[in-house]
Homo-oligomer: A and B are copies of this chain.
């Protein structure tokens, strides 16, 4: 794939050998190329964590910001320049833990962006603490007696929020994951891809083998237009279903902004209208 113009060959990748992130990197890179996206208009936004390093290894614009804060940054980029393709990606701790509030409200906003969450059910970069998606009983250096919290079910929550696009993929299924990523990027509106990824160093439970054994595609008769069905399938724990659970056309955030009502240009192309401003000043100035 060295001709892939999104590839950044020769960079020093900081992931462990065997990490599921390599597969995600390949799949994202291939999807960007397959969609023939304009490199100059493709922006990746990430937080902090192992997953969040991904943009460093691609030839794209990127904004590698704070732990947990990729979604507000991505939303604003899209809202400031609607010509850009925006992908927000990070780990499960980043997106569902520290960033949980943005996850909720970004879905409510429904900006046209893709949200890829590397779900390895653990905090990789900080050395193996539980993440919101870690299973009950999962023992870590911090959760010495095992996790006692209910695991966060991102799909069920997204469907409860009536998210516009909700999917789960597993990095081990290369073709299927590419197809899901492609559909997610092409979807107009917010699209969640919860992407199962083995962390070979800190998650000895949810391994490649485990995922292979405990995942299965959604039944072929699954109707992504049916919210109740989507929710029911999202609640299933064994097997974890893979595929597009829910999809819906909804009004897109940035299309409804008053700022674009009269002027479709990105904000950076605009200049202050001084005459108009003088008028506004007078209007406000009459007490």
Residues of A that sit less than 8 Å from B by CB: 96-101, 104-105, 107-110, 132, 144-145, 148-153, 156-157, 159-162, 227-228, 231-232, 234-235, 250-251, 253, 256-258
**Is the beta-carbon distance between B105 and A256 smaller than 8 angstroms?**
no
B residues within 8 A CB of A232? 228
Residues of B within 8 A of A227 (CB): 235
Contact B161 A153 (CB under 8 A): yes
A236 CB, min distance to chain B CBs, angstroms: 11
Chain B residue at smallest Cβ distance from A235? B227
A130 to chain B: closest CB distance in Å? 11
Contacts of A107 in B (CB 8 A): 150
Please give me the 4 A-B residue pairs with the lowest Cβ-Cβ distance, nearest first.
A156-B160, A160-B160, A100-B101, A101-B101
State which of B108, B145, B148, B160 has its C-beta within 8 Å of the C-beta of A231: B160
Among the listed B110, B144, B160, B228, which residue makes an inter-chain contact with A157, where contact means beta carbons less than 8 Å apart?
B160
On whether A153 and B160 interact (CB within 8 A), knowing A100-B100, A104-B100, A228-B232, the answer reads yes
